[in-house]
Structure 1
Amino acid sequence: MAPTLPAARGSLPPEGALAPGGGPAALESAAPACPLCDTDGGALIWRGARLRVIRATEAGFPAFYRVVWGAHVPELSDLSGADRAHCMAAVCEVEQVLREHLQPDKINLAALGNMVPHLHWHVIARFAWDSHFPAPVWAAGQRPRAAAQEADIAARLPAAEATLRERLARLG
């Protein structure tokens, strides 16, 4: 099963919002809460003043992280230049630590926001043995899950996350 975020929030306008008299007020009053504003969105690894890093609990993908911007903005271009640089520095730190500690075959980076329009980057360590490789984690699986390899990666995450906290703390 491909990883998913919480139920599709904001993927379609609320019923009646596009009807005569519906308009923006109907959209605002019916707008669902943002799951990345309302919750950490996974196991919190580190929180700074501007962003946080979480480990997503996605079956079959033990090293699936998200860098979540603190303010509710949908696009990277909504940030100032300094904030964009800070966000991307955090994404790069997560990638580098995963490469150092886990030696994945590939790191996937994605900032889609189609399901949850709140700026967040997926940073996913990928392995040739994972059930979906080389396809994206959101595609159909290509083989059964590799439980022993997943457990090996999961056992290495505490050390990786300790390194990640140290490096992110330096970013501020």
Structure 2
Amino acid sequence: MIAQWPLDWNERLAGTSCEMCGERSPEADDYGLRIYQSHVVDAVLQRASIQRGYTLVIWRGRHVIEPFELSDEEAARYWQEVLKVGKALARFYKPLKMNYQVLGNTVPHLHAHLLPRYEIDPAPGRPFPLLPQNGSEAKFDDEVLNGDASELRRLLG
């Protein structure tokens, strides 16, 4: 069987009902805790126990899919913010390596997946094997997640 793009792919590209274009990320929701907010991004530490420290950095300007759709000024600001979050994640979690994945194959809105990589890892030396989340994933313990978020907010302050 050959996999196909979703039937509503063209609507997703156009930003119709884009879940990342709506309101700013809440302080907390089923997917994660916002650890940083600026004029151009929201950074959300993920609840799913996919990888400790897994964070999305979401572009909060107009609907764009690819980084090259940003003006030079917007791109500079976006990537500065991505790097700021990445640096805080690296300082706190002390991973062997940080990964920055810009995908958008499920939600075509500019966002980066920041993934600390550790000694115990599902794919050493390869890209992190991300799958779309559906809400049924195991979650990190609330106390651990809240503690991590508090320290990351301090580092990003």
TM-score of the alignment, normalized to the shorter chain, above 0.5: yes
**Equivalent position of 2:28 in the other structure:** none
**SS of 2:20 mapped into structure 1:** helix
Q: Distance between the aligned counterparts of 1:112 and 1:62, measured in 2? A: 19
Task: Find out whether 1:13 has 2:7 as its counterpart.
Answer: yes
Task: Find out whether 1:33 has 2:2 as its counterpart.
Answer: no
**SS of 2:112 mapped into structure 1:** strand
Letter in 1 for 2:34: L
Larger radius of gyration: 1
> Structure 1, residues 49-102: CA drift from partner, whole Å, max 9, x if none?
222111122223120111100121101111110110011101111111111121
Q: Structure 1 stretches of 5 or more lacking a match?
A: 1-10, 18-23, 140-149, 167-172
Indicate the percent of aligned positions where both proteins have the same amino acid. Answer: 24
Displacement after TM superposition at 1:156 (Å): 4.2
TM-score by length of 2: 0.70
Question: What is the number of residues matched between the two proteins?
Answer: 134
**Equivalent position of 1:144 in the other structure:** none
> Structure 1, residues 140-161: CA drift from partner, whole Å, max 9, x if none?
xxxxxxxxxx87x754442123
Q: 1:54 to 1:116 in 2, by over 3 A?
A: same
- Within 5 Å, give how 1:19-168 maps onto structure 2: 33-38=17-22, 40=25, 42-70=32-60, 71-130=62-121, 132-134=122-124, 135=126, 136-138=128-130, 154=145, 155-164=147-156, 166=157
TM-score by length of 1: 0.65
**SS of 1:35 mapped into structure 2:** coil
RMSD: 3.1
Q: Distance between the aligned counterparts of 1:79 and 1:32, measured in 2? A: 19
Letter in 2 for 1:33: S
Q: 1:161 to 1:125 in 2, by over 3 A?
A: farther
Q: Distance between the aligned counterparts of 1:60 and 1:118, measured in 2? A: 21
Q: Distance between the aligned counterparts of 2:40 and 2:152, measured in 1? A: 22
- Give every structure 1 segment of 4 or more consecutive aligned residues whose post-TM-superposition deviation is greater than 3 Å: 153-157
